[in-house]
Amino acid sequence: MKRRGWLVLLAIALAVLFALPAFAGENKVTILCSPDPAWCEAVKREFSKTGIQTEFVRLSSGAALARLRAEKANPAFDVWFGGSGDSQWVAEAEGLAEFFRPKAWGDLRPQLSKAVDGHYIPLYTGLHGFGVNEKILKEKNLPVPETWKELGDPRYKGLIAMPNPNTSGTGYVMMTTIIQIYGEDPGFELIKAIHRNIGQYTRSGGDPSLLAGRGEVAIGVSFANDVVERARKGFPIRFVGPRDGTGYEIGGLNLVKGGPNRANGLKLIDWALEPENQKLGPQNGEVSIPSHSKSVIDPDVPRFEDAKVIAYDFGKYGTPAVRDGLIRKWTEQVFPLPK
């Protein structure tokens, strides 16, 4: 009897042991999440209601790309959710992400799907520019800057915050926008002039608008959605789309190549593109234009037709060699300069 009981216990233990991987694979999805943490939390909460255990790690676009590169041989994530398109494009180009057309592909806004087809799935879009705290500027008897070139004016010394392009897609888009408007060499000269006015570099693209809203600086380089969200919370800040031209983002979704829960990653992506679920972004800090053509656009979102939007070259500036080269150039030639 003792031997039989021992064999029964052994059989049960083996059954549980061999069942664990299958259980984890069938009921879990892990997200590398780059937008506002509140949106990431909302996705976790709502998608978990489908019966799939949902976890996420929140990293800005540049840091997220670095994480995927470091884990290429053994990916820990299933889906990269949100973040700047340049970094998402690089991920696909380097074999870190697996592009596919989801069920809703034909219903996405055509200008978005055409721009990134073959590289990643558009999730949202929004203008790039900066948020200004007019109260601080008025106290210092300074005008509201309306162009990138004005940000290089020494009278704004110490009054600007921008994200570090090594860790933030927002910072990279600022750099590539200026380069596309003025050319690489003149653009870098302007970037150097702006650097001398930087009061603080941040890791995340959302932090400069928060610093400007708090009055720690007067100007925060940000995407429009971050500025709008700060204004909604009562901060004295408004968005400026630079008159000399402004870029934009197509925030993306990508299936991580070789992720441990591919089937659930596919389910999450289809779920995230449904108009009902795209409401979670504007409701949780990402007040931008959702990618689905039937999704409602929040009335507070700055419109493309009201700004001088450049024909942003996602293909060129999403090329790994171009991206890494420009960031290296900034790190070596701009960041060490005295202020």
Predicted confidence (pLDDT) per residue in 258-309, tens digit: 999 999 999 999 999 999 999 999 999 889 999 999 999 999 999 999 999 9
Q: Quote the pLDDT of residue 26.
A: 67
In-domain check, residue 309: no
Write the CATH number for 145: 3.40.190.10
Asked if residue 328 and residue 196 are part of one domain, the reply reads: yes
Is residue 330 scored above 80 in pLDDT? yes
Q: Quote the pLDDT of residue 23.
A: 38
Say how far apart CA 170 and CA 128 lie, in whole Å: 8
Mapping DSSP onto H, E and C, the string for 221-251 reads EEEHHHHHHHHHCCCCCEEECCCCCECEEEE
pLDDT tens track for 1-32: 444 444 444 443 443 333 333 334 469 999 99
Q: Quote the pLDDT of residue 277.
A: 98
Asked if residue 185 and residue 142 are part of one domain, the reply reads: yes
pLDDT tens track for 163-173: 999 999 999 99
Residue 36 CA from chain centroid, whole number = 9
Q: Which residues, other chains included, contact 311 with Cβ-Cβ below 8 Å and sequence gap of 6+?
A: none
**Apex CA 302: angle with CA 300 and CA 305, to 5°?**
135
Q: Quote the pLDDT of residue 53.
A: 97
In-domain check, residue 311: no
The residue assigned the tokens 């441990």 is 260
Q: Quote the pLDDT of residue 17.
A: 38
Asked if residue 233 and residue 148 are part of one domain, the reply reads: yes
Region 148-158: mean pLDDT is: 98
The residue assigned the tokens 């990916």 is 75
Region 140-152: mean pLDDT is: 98
Structural domain span for residue 32: 2-125+249-302
Asked if residue 327 and residue 199 are part of one domain, the reply reads: yes
Q: Quote the pLDDT of residue 84.
A: 87
pLDDT tens track for 172-231: 999 999 999 999 999 999 999 999 999 999 999 999 999 999 999 999 999 999 999 999
**Apex CA 160: angle with CA 246 and CA 322, to 5°?**
50
Say how far apart CA 339 and CA 333 lie, in whole Å: 13
DSSP string of 61-109, one letter each residue: HHHHHHHHHHTTTS---SEEES--HHHHHHHHHTTSEE----TTGGGB-
Asked if residue 92 and residue 233 are part of one domain, the reply reads: no
Closest CA to 225 of 149, 289, 174, 270: 289
Domain total in the chain? 2
Asked if residue 102 and residue 151 are part of one domain, the reply reads: no
Asked if residue 97 and residue 174 are part of one domain, the reply reads: no
pLDDT-based confidence at 83, cuts 50/70/90? confident
Asked if residue 160 and residue 200 are part of one domain, the reply reads: yes
Instruction: State the DSSP code for 133.
Output: -
